[in-house]
Amino acid sequence: MNLNLSDSDNRQNGLSIENEFLAPASVFREYDIRGLANSEITDGFAKCLGLALGEFALSRNQQTFFVGRDARLSSPSLAESLCTGLESAGCHVLSLGEVTTPILNFAIDRDLSCKSGVMVTASHNAAAYNGFKIIIGGEVISGRELQKLKSALKPNGFPFKTSTPRITKDIISQYSQRIVGDSCIDRPFNLVIDAGNSVAGPIAVDLFKRLGCSVEPLYCDVDGSFPNHEPNPSDEKNLQDLIAKVISTGADLGFAFDGDGDRLVVISASGSIVWPDKLMMIFARDLLGQTPGGDVVFDVKSTMRLKELIIEYKGLPTICKTGHSHIRKAVRDQNALIGGEFSGHIFFNDRWGGFDDGLYAGMRLLEVLCQQYNGGIKTLDEIVSEFKASSYSPEILVPVAEDEKFALMAKLQNNCIFNGAKIVRLDGMRVEYSGGWGLVRASNTTPNLTLRFEADDHIQLEKIKTQFRKQLGPFINHLEDYI
């Protein structure tokens, strides 16, 4: 990238030079860019990113970008600054406004002339954060490609053209119509929807009403400060109000969406949390019943029962690193029927575009619940009860400094010994025993190590936890407070 224009050259070209603050390297994560808004993720950084990204895309013959943003208070100005940078590179911008990430993906999937886009979002993170999810040529930019983009940023100032009017696209109604047209739901459901005051709220309420559901909104008004709880349905404390509302209203289901609408966690009529790996079991059984021999992709945090079910129904199981970009790539590379991860990203690739969409996954669950089983309809609780039981922990987060977590994970991998176990090192360490498993990995989105455990019964579960305390304890202070 030749960005070393002199001040006089820039003035002659009608450009202005801004020596903007660039974000720390840590905001370039494994599968997106994410950090604290207004200090790490600034308007100046967004402009620099837009220009570097624009030239990066042009080198791949991609000239047009869809740009969307979530409801965070910092998102409008960051999106505007990003667009200025993209336009300064010579790219065209199609602004989608305030939308979910799946709507951005939907726009890219259906538009033959524009296969690139940027979503301004920090997904499930707290209101103080923001970031960018990037797609170029239909592919999520992650890992090494993000590092290449980072190296293209120059700290000594970029030339920026005066922002020009850009095209605005409103495709929310087209997105909803596409899902309604794809659906096969023949009975009404009573739903409670908790969007955590995210952008997903009004879109989800409208969609499920169109699908014939009676909807009780909970925190579905948009407020980018997220006043009621963080938009993270993976954290049980963020689900308590939804559970209470489902029980008090006698609803059939509760749907919880994250900050940009690409994740789903479900509450059953009994108030039980149905984690996404259990949803994957429901979807995999349904899809493999129609297409035996199909591929199903899942992440290292998922239940061992999912792999067992895939094999039972003559499918091909593929375990994958955690992260929406990794799952999405594996689904597309293998032309899998579906992919999913424990955090709630579910990728349908049979009738949908192979991207993660919490709202679409909710519709597909309603379809399954409409099916007849020996002349009768089963509730979600009844369907889940058919699966082989296990004892398991929630996702456990152990705080570790952002700049230390990967080094600590490497130390654990080099020093911990688990006799009699198979260790899968695809993403951290998944330590597999005959009757269960334990996982430790560095989170790519938060300053934590992530742990999870599952076993055939509670006794086996405690044995595995004991082994982890013994092996990890010398390297992690107060580990016993967490496991």
Spot the catalytic one: 74, 75, 81, 123: 123
* Amino acid residing at 48: C
Least confident of 13-17, 182-186, 275-279, 419-423: 13-17
**Residue whose structure tokens are 């801004």:** 18
Gyration radius of the chain's alpha carbons: 23
454 C-beta neighbours (distance < 10 Å), count: 22
Tens digits of per-residue pLDDT, 101-160? 999 999 999 988 899 999 999 999 999 999 999 999 999 999 889 998 888 887 645 666
Tens digits of per-residue pLDDT, 391-410? 999 899 999 998 899 999 99
Question: Does 21 have pLDDT greater than 60?
Answer: no
CATH code assigned at 187? 3.40.120.10
pTM of structure: 0.92
144 compared with 364, residue with greater pLDDT: 364
Question: Does 483 have pLDDT greater than 70?
Answer: yes
3-state secondary structure of 339: strand
Whether residue 331 sits in one domain with residue 397: no
How far is it, in rounded angstroms, from Cα 140 to Cα 161? 27
| pLDDT value at residue 158 | 60
| pLDDT value at residue 163 | 55
pLDDT band of residue 161 (cuts 50, 70, 90) is low
Tens digits of per-residue pLDDT, 299-355? 999 999 999 999 999 999 999 999 999 999 999 999 999 999 999 999 999 999 999
| pLDDT value at residue 420 | 94
How far is it, in rounded angstroms, from Cα 424 to Cα 123? 28
Whether residue 402 sits in one domain with residue 459: yes
383 compared with 152, residue with greater pLDDT: 383
Is 229 catalytic? The answer is no
How far is it, in rounded angstroms, from Cα 166 to Cα 93? 6
* Amino acid residing at 444: N
Question: Does 17 have pLDDT greater than 60?
Answer: no
Is 60 catalytic? The answer is no
Spot the catalytic one: 29, 69, 285, 345: 345
Of 248, 270, 292, at which residue does a domain stop? 270
Whether residue 312 sits in one domain with residue 261: no
Least confident of 19-28, 110-119, 253-262, 393-402: 19-28
Of 144, 168, 192, at which residue does a domain stop? 168
Q: What phi-psi label fits residue 25: left (phi over 0), alpha (psi between -120 and 50 degrees) or beta? A: alpha
In a domain, 380, yes or no: no
CATH code assigned at 445? 3.30.310.50
240 C-beta neighbours (distance < 10 Å), count: 11
> Average pLDDT over the chain, rounded to whole?
92
How far is it, in rounded angstroms, from Cα 483 to Cα 63? 50
Q: Give the range of the structural domain holding residue 427, as residue numbers without chain letter.
A: 391-481
Whether residue 308 sits in one domain with residue 288: yes
In a domain, 362, yes or no: no
| Structural domain count, the chain | 4
Is 163 catalytic? The answer is no
In a domain, 361, yes or no: no
CB 203 within 8 A of CB 100: yes
pLDDT band of residue 25 (cuts 50, 70, 90) is confident
DSSP letters, 164-218, are ---EE---HHHHHHHHHHH----S--EEEEE-TTSTHHHHHHHHHHHTT-EEEEE
Whether residue 312 sits in one domain with residue 266: no
Q: Cα–Cα distances in Å, from 101 out to 70, 175, 187, 245, 457?
A: 8, 12, 29, 27, 38
Spot the catalytic one: 29, 34, 124, 332: 34
Question: Does 6 have pLDDT greater than 50?
Answer: no
Helix ranges (H only) for 338-457 are: 358-369, 380-385, 405-415
